[in-house]
Amino acid sequence: MAFRQIKSGKPAGPDNIPAEALKADVRSCTDQIATLRIIVEQSIEWNSSLYINFIDYEKAFDSVDRTTLWKLLRYYGVPLSPGDRLDHEDVNIWIEARDTMDI
């Protein structure tokens, strides 16, 4: 069995779970694993295909260039006034002005 190296430099244990993962919020992690297990079991029970995609939301959303985003919103006629609410299909966005910026 190959052992992975993690940030601390220690390899994962025989269960292939890094020690750092065990230090995370245990209840949250347990709830997520239980939910995932239920979904997998239902997929097997219903004999249906299952596709799972894990998204790193921090990297997905914190890397957005805000200036470009605001320019695109203005270009497409999206209201940019503080307190405006944007609704598009299943997405609800609340615009809050925390600082001023020229666009």
pTM over 0.85: no
> Are 82 and 45 in the same domain?
no
Say which residue the tokens 């890094």 belong to.
Answer: 18
pLDDT at 58: 73
Q: Write the pLDDT tens digit of every residue in 45-90.
A: 999 888 888 777 777 776 777 778 778 878 888 766 655 555 555 5
Instruction: Give the domain range for residue 68.
Output: 57-94
> Residue 101 falls within a domain, yes or no?
no
Neighbours of 65 (CB within 10 A): 9
Say which residue the tokens 């295909």 belong to.
Answer: 49
- 2 pLDDT exceeds 50? no
> Are 74 and 31 in the same domain?
no
Burial state string for 67-101 with b = 16 or more CB within 10 A and e = fewer than 16: eeebeebeeeeeeeeeeeeeeeeeeeeeeeeeeee
Q: Write the pLDDT tens digit of every residue in 8-42.
A: 556 666 666 666 665 666 677 788 888 989 999 99
